[in-house]
Copies of this chain bind each other. A is one copy, B any other.
Amino acid sequence: MNSIRVFAPATVANVACGFDIFGFAVDNPGDQIVLTTSDEPGVRITDIIGDDGRLPREAARNTAGIAIQTYLKHIDRADLGLDIVLHKQMPLGSGLGSSAASAVAGVFAVNELLGRPLPILKLLPFAMEGERIACGSAHADNVGPSLLGGFVVVRSYNPLDVIKIETPATLFCTLVHPDIEVNTKDARFILKNEVSLKNTIIQMGNVAGLIAGLMTPDYDLISRSLVDVIIEPVRAILIPEFNEAKQAALDNGALGCSISGSGPSMFALSRDAQTAEKVGAAMQQAFLAVGITSEAYVSEINRQGPKVMPN
Contact = CB atoms under 8 A, between A and B. Distances in A.
Interface stretch (A18-26, A77-85, A259-267, A294-302): A18-26
A155 interface: yes
Interface string A209-229: 111100110000100110000
Nearest to A163: B212
Contact of A205 (B154, B195, B201, B206): B154
A245 to B, nearest CB: 24
Contacts of A194: 194-197
A18 B17 CA distance: 15
A224 B155 CA distance: 9
Nearest to A230: B200
A208 B205 contact: no
Contacts of A203: 200, 204
Given A193-B196, A194-B196, A197-B194, A212 B20 contact: no
Contacts of A193: 196-198
A156 interface: yes
A48 interface: no
A156 to B, nearest CB: 6
Interface in A126-177: 153-156, 161, 163, 165
A226 to B, nearest CB: 12
A21 B224 contact: no
A204 B156 CA distance: 10
B19 A208 contact: no
A118 interface: no
A190 interface: no
Contacts of A202: 156
Contact of A21 (B153, B163, B208, B215): B208
Q: Tell me which of A156, A198, A225 has the highest count of chain B C-beta atoms within 10 A of its own C-beta.
A: A156
A203 to B, nearest CB: 6
A288 interface: no
A204 B165 contact: no
Given A200-B200, A221-B163, A208 B209 contact: no
7 contacts: A154-B205, A155-B209, A192-B197, A193-B196, A195-B197, A200-B200, A215-B216
The 9 A-B residue pairs whose C-beta atoms are closest, nearest first, are A155-B209, A155-B205, A211-B211, A194-B194, A153-B208, A21-B205, A215-B215, A20-B201, A204-B207
Interface of A: 17-22, 153-156, 161, 163, 165, 191-198, 200-212, 215-216, 221, 224-225, 230
